[in-house]
Chain A
Amino acid sequence: MQNPLTNFTAVPDGASPAEAAATFPMGSRLRWLLSADVLAPIVVGVGVLVLWEVGVRLTNTPPYILPGPLLVLQTLVSEWGTLFPSLMITLQITLVAFVAAVVTGLAIAILFTQSKWIERSFFPYAVILQTTPIVAIAPLIILWVRQLVQGQQATFISLTICAWIVAFFPILSNTTLGLNSADHNLLNLFQLYKANRWQTLRYLRLPSALPYFLGGLRISGGLALIGAVVAEFVAGTGGTRSGIAYQILISSFNLQIPRMFAALLMTTGLGVAIFVALTLLSDLLLRDWHESAIKREN
């Protein structure tokens, strides 16, 4: 147990903890930039890049085997005009699939917790959907969608379905776990006060599931991108609406290895950006109460 006195000293003169934190944001940000958490990986990263560049130059490795980081960067700038639109197409597929995964994952998880029978009957098939390799079923999905939809839309829809299949499961399984993890004493309390199903869901199960759901979101964000890229590889679509994976594929066929690296760099950057955005969202939503988002001084 904490000393009750510390609780009184934590809120001096009626200032809320939030106000207290707001009085030194600049200092703490600077300290954050200089902290070991930030500096250590930067030092490692720069060190590896320098070694890579020096190694490539000393061994005279031709660029079609391994380009140096400087050449990759140059290529990224010069090819930006063709690579960036492709990245945007992949991003579009990723986002649509991700949103679809969030909506369906959440809805099915809620359905599962409302009836044990529904969960028992359908959960195994959700697992099967997850464990089936997307590379193997992507051609089928592309084939089927082309039967149903004509033209450019067909590719977009089939790629989105592939990415959705990969992204959907972590949200479903995490949210189901979260909805079932509500404190049993609180569940009893809701029962005692005769809360209905909707109230129990709205005021107890959903808030309890939020940290789990957000954890699933972070995994799914990255998986949606991977799903989109894998499906693009399988589809191998050319034309005006080709994604970044197609650019990687074409570059490797043409032995434009620096261009391939540049496209790869962009894809990775996008994946990291998605992860960072979802982590920030998670911290924002949980900062008031959840252990994962609370900074403690020891």
Chain B
Amino acid sequence: MTPSSTFSLSNVSKVYSNGTVALQDLNLAVNDGQFVSLLGPSGCGKSTVLRIVAGLGHMSSGQLSWSHQANRRMAFVFQEAALMPWATVQNNVRLPLKLSGMGKAASNAAVAEALEMVDLTGFESSYPRELSGGMKMRVSIARALVTKPEVLLMDEPFGALDEMTRSKLNSDLLNLWQQKQWTVVFVTHNIYEAVYLSNRVIVMAARPGRVVADVPIDAPYPRTEDFRTSAMFNHYCRDISARLSQAASHHLQDNASSVRSPNVVDSLV
């Protein structure tokens, strides 16, 4: 573990009770202030990694270690906005502070600040049903930001949004990240999104879930819309795409050879 690393996972495996191997011997160290994307097909265990880091899931073996303080201030953004439909925007954002025992008056300033960060000032008293999908996701992000987290864990947060809303939220998120210098772990299955946002893309493969490549994206920030059409951007996308399909074809070959193997056939009979 390097001195600047925020957390590291060593030899982490996760096996579900039905025998499915979700993760096998995964090693990953994330450094302070990095924007790391976990990229891979569905079923590669990228969300499982995020949940383990958040403390929401247990690992079967291996270790998660945090540097500095034992308890980093973490925030989690889900794929669905996961708002409380009975509460106004303001009260949804206030939730983490309320759960930590902070009073309404004391939390008002932090709530207003978080809503301003995501451009939702003026919608304090709206209910989630009155908002569009993109706006709901902004509320969800504001709720994560209200505790001033050091580590932001995001599980395909923009997966359910249309392309235009997604790219707008991408650049807004990137601007905020540059100002606040959080450590971000971002799960996605979208190569373009991963390359545009991150300074490091972890490519994962499925069955069993594992890391197949660790690609640094050495493009300077701030990244503008022009970056999306640059040669460098294309180069990274092509490289990562090749690594993904390579991992997938290996997996197919492994399967094909194992089926031909007499031992496996015997054990099936």
B7 to chain A, nearest CB (A): 15
Please tell me if the beta carbons of B132 and A2 are within 8 angstroms of each other in the complex. Answer: yes
Let me know if A199 is at the binding interface, CB within 8 A: yes
- Chain A contacts with B in 259-273, Cβ cutoff 8 A: none
A289 to chain B, nearest CB (A): 5
User: Cβ of B162: which chain A residues have Cβ within 8 Å of it?
Assistant: 1
B103 to chain A, nearest CB (A): 14
- Chain A contacts with B in 265-298, Cβ cutoff 8 A: 288-290, 294
Let me know if A7 is at the binding interface, CB within 8 A: yes
Let me know if B187 is at the binding interface, CB within 8 A: no
Let me know if B135 is at the binding interface, CB within 8 A: yes
Let me know if B159 is at the binding interface, CB within 8 A: no
- Chain B contacts with A in 57-85, Cβ cutoff 8 A: 74-76, 78, 80, 82, 84-85
| Complex Cα gap A186–B83 (Å) | 7
User: Cβ of A186: which chain B residues have Cβ within 8 Å of it?
Assistant: 82, 84
Please tell me if the beta carbons of A288 and B99 are within 8 angstroms of each other in the complex. Answer: no
Please tell me if the beta carbons of A204 and B82 are within 8 angstroms of each other in the complex. Answer: no
- Which of these, B75, B78, B130, B161, contacts A10 with CB under 8 Å? B130
Known: A186-B84, A199-B99. A7 touches B56 (CB 8 A): no
Let me know if A16 is at the binding interface, CB within 8 A: yes
Please classify the interface of chain B as helix (H, G, I), strand (E, B), loop, or mixed, using the class held by over half of its residues.
Answer: loop
- Which of these, A11, A185, A190, A289, contacts B85 with CB under 8 Å? A289
**Total interface residues on A, using CB and 8 Å?**
30
User: Cβ of A190: which chain B residues have Cβ within 8 Å of it?
Assistant: 99
Nearest-neighbor residue (CB-CB) of A6 within chain B: B132
**Total interface residues on B, using CB and 8 Å?**
33
Task: Name the residue among A2, A189, A192 with the largest chain B CB count within 10 angstroms.
Answer: A189
| Complex Cα gap A217–B87 (Å) | 23
User: Cβ of A3: which chain B residues have Cβ within 8 Å of it?
Assistant: 132
Please tell me if the beta carbons of A192 and B98 are within 8 angstroms of each other in the complex. Answer: no
Let me know if B54 is at the binding interface, CB within 8 A: yes
Known: A1-B162, A4-B134, A17-B130. A192 touches B54 (CB 8 A): yes
| Complex Cα gap A6–B126 (Å) | 14
Please tell me if the beta carbons of A189 and B82 are within 8 angstroms of each other in the complex. Answer: yes
Please tell me if the beta carbons of A294 and B129 are within 8 angstroms of each other in the complex. Answer: yes
Let me know if A32 is at the binding interface, CB within 8 A: no
Please tell me if the beta carbons of B86 and A192 are within 8 angstroms of each other in the complex. Answer: no
- Chain A contacts with B in 175-194, Cβ cutoff 8 A: 183, 185-186, 188-194
Please tell me if the beta carbons of B161 and A185 are within 8 angstroms of each other in the complex. Answer: no
| Complex Cα gap A193–B165 (Å) | 29
Let me know if B261 is at the binding interface, CB within 8 A: no
User: Cβ of A64: which chain B residues have Cβ within 8 Å of it?
Assistant: none
| Complex Cα gap A12–B127 (Å) | 16
**20 A-B residue contacts at CB 8 Å?**
A2-B133, A4-B134, A6-B132, A7-B130, A16-B125, A17-B130, A185-B78, A189-B82, A191-B55, A192-B74, A193-B147, A194-B99, A194-B100, A204-B84, A207-B86, A210-B86, A289-B85, A289-B128, A289-B129, A290-B85
A residues apposed to B, CB below 8 Å: 1-4, 6-7, 10-11, 16-17, 183, 185-186, 188-195, 199, 203-204, 207, 210, 288-290, 294
Other than the given A4-B135, A195-B99, 17 more pairs (CB < 8 A) read: A1-B161, A1-B162, A2-B133, A7-B130, A7-B131, A17-B130, A188-B78, A189-B76, A189-B78, A189-B82, A190-B99, A192-B56, A192-B76, A203-B99, A210-B86, A288-B127, A290-B86
